[in-house]
Amino acid sequence: MSTPRPTPRTRRVLVLSRYDIGHPHAGDIEHYLHEITRRWAADGCEVTWSTTRSPGMSAEQTIAGVRILRSLSPLGALTRLVGEGARFDAILDGGDHGAVIPLVTGQSVPVVPVVHRIRPRPAGRLRRLLTGPVSRWNRPDQAVVVLSPSARHDLRHRHRFGGPIFVVPPGAPPPPASSGVDPGRAPAPMIVVDVDLVAEQRIDLLLKAVPQVAAAVPGLRVEILGDGPQLAALRDLAATSPTAASVTLHGRVTDGERDAWLRRAWLTVSTATGAACGCPLLAAAAYGVPGVALQAPGTRDFLRAGRTGHLVDSLEDLPAALIERLTALADPANVRRAAQACRTWADCFTWQRSAALLAGVVEHQIRAHHSGAARRRSARSDIATLVRLPAGAHVPAGALRPTDEVATTDGQVNVMLNGCDELDALGVLARLGVTGAGHRLAGHDDLLIGPHPLPPLLAGPPARRTRPRPPNREQAPAAPSLLRDPSPIPANRRPLTFKRG
């Protein structure tokens, strides 16, 4: 159980993105923002969502307590900031607006970008300028939100972002009533993929692998759900394939239709080659469906290799990995084990926690923007410390930063101190008057699931890779560091020990 955290209860927040949840082309980022902001609205926050509209959509609508204002173009959504931007306490940017917002608002309002997909190179010279060198003119304490530790590493090291980066993972949908193998599971092998059909997702790679997989797996069906600018081109590609009858691209489906397909699925697949959102993998896991994914930032964090799916090192290995997994999933015992592990993993992610984490980042950014307070800690946001309080100790309300997290599990109180190394943690504990607490640097799993213990079913050494690395590429194990790329297999490989302080 997590202790209630600060929420933007009395705040006014403006959300910017290309689409809203009601738009026909709404995708992962819109779903992410909707699930979080509707919980803010239910808690008393005034949330306004400025976006674009398609023909036939109303210019204004309220969805789940969130006021939606729609313009005919992205420029119209941005020009609203000229007259109304200053009345908001914070702006949540889900649309890659880069340095445009501070230029329009005059930096009078703190902005928190949510980076859910990291493109290798922005299209167009002006866009590259605004999201590259010009964006670095912003305040050095500009906070950015990403959805996973590997996405943060990618943004930090490959894109050279120097400001605070906070990890706010998505939630998983509520688990279905069935806790074992879903009785609606298809009798023949079926791959179901729920995805935004954009270039970065590289669904064409899956379609090109289907003929080889179908030749080895009789009766294979591939059902692709979702809409996007690549839909028409992908349908043309599927139609020219020798296995065209095995593949269906459904386009946009309702939540109920998506859930029905996931109940039938044997496997889901992610072929994204760049940093992408892990929401579809978690949604499938909630239905007990394992996955196969290419090694890519953002997606690899949401698979437990050997338990809830398999990670593939190279595109050439994808068909063999799919054949191996589909063959294994013909065994009912393997299906039961995978379904249990997937549902256990999905249970570690809730939208309530996601909403609280992002609310903490927004509140922290508001305070830092206006007063420069809360800068006592010397470590940057990439480092976090997990503290285990002694029996009987507690954390007074309001004693920590909004970005910190407190959780109680079986009577044990654990605290995640973000932007805090072990030396800073000792200072925090001294300020709270707590003695005898254990502490250690937070690991990859801690950043994903918070100060909660990893379920035993998911712990332990991971299974072998789909393709072992050549001997000359092997490296000796190094000490874990949040400043390096997290392991592509997200597991705590060694016993976690706490230091006393």
Count CB atoms within 10 A of the CB of residue 461: 10
3 state DSSP class of 427: helix
Residue 381 pLDDT class (50, 70, 90 cuts): confident
The pLDDT tens digits for 430-440 are 999 998 999 99
How large is the average pLDDT for residues 318-335? 96
3 state DSSP class of 463: coil
Residue 276 pLDDT class (50, 70, 90 cuts): confident
Nearest by Cα to 82 from 104, 103, 108: 104
All CATH 3.40.50.2000 domain ranges of the chain, comma separated, are: 12-167, 190-346
Residue 9 pLDDT class (50, 70, 90 cuts): low
Residue 119 pLDDT class (50, 70, 90 cuts): low
Is residue 294 a contact partner of residue 467, using CB atoms and an 8 Å limit?
A: no
For residue 491, pLDDT over 90 is answered with no
The pLDDT tens digits for 61-84 are 999 999 999 987 777 666 666 666
Residue type, 429: L
The pLDDT tens digits for 22-35 are 888 888 889 999 99
Nearest by Cα to 268 from 160, 342, 159: 342
CATH number 3.30.465.10 given to 190-346: no
Q: What is the pLDDT of residue 245?
A: 92
Q: What is the pLDDT of residue 323?
A: 97
Residue 8 pLDDT class (50, 70, 90 cuts): low
Question: Which CATH number is associated with domain 12-167?
Answer: 3.40.50.2000
> How many residues appear in the chain?
501
Residue 238 and residue 396: Cα distance in Å, rounded? 59
Q: What is the pLDDT of residue 484?
A: 34
Residue 349 pLDDT class (50, 70, 90 cuts): very high
Report the half-sphere exposure of 152 (CA within 13 A, side-chain side).
26
How large is the average pLDDT for residues 307-336? 95
Residue 487 pLDDT class (50, 70, 90 cuts): very low
Residues 6+ apart with CB under 8 A from 247: 207, 210, 222, 224, 238, 241
Strand boundaries in 154-290, DSSP class E: 165-167, 190-194, 221-225, 247-251, 268-270
Q: What is the pLDDT of residue 236?
A: 95
- When mean pLDDT is compared across 38-47, 205-214, 395-404, 442-451, the lowest value belongs to 395-404
Residue 498 and residue 501: Cα distance in Å, rounded? 9
- When mean pLDDT is compared across 263-277, 345-359, 424-438, 462-476, the lowest value belongs to 462-476
Residue 10 pLDDT class (50, 70, 90 cuts): confident
Across all residues in the chain, what is the average pLDDT?
82
The pLDDT tens digits for 208-238 are 999 999 999 999 999 999 998 899 999 999 9
Is residue 81 a contact partner of residue 101, using CB atoms and an 8 Å limit?
A: yes
Q: What is the pLDDT of residue 212?
A: 96
Count CB atoms within 10 A of the CB of residue 245: 10
Q: What is the pLDDT of residue 369?
A: 77
Nearest by Cα to 195 from 249, 141, 128, 265: 249
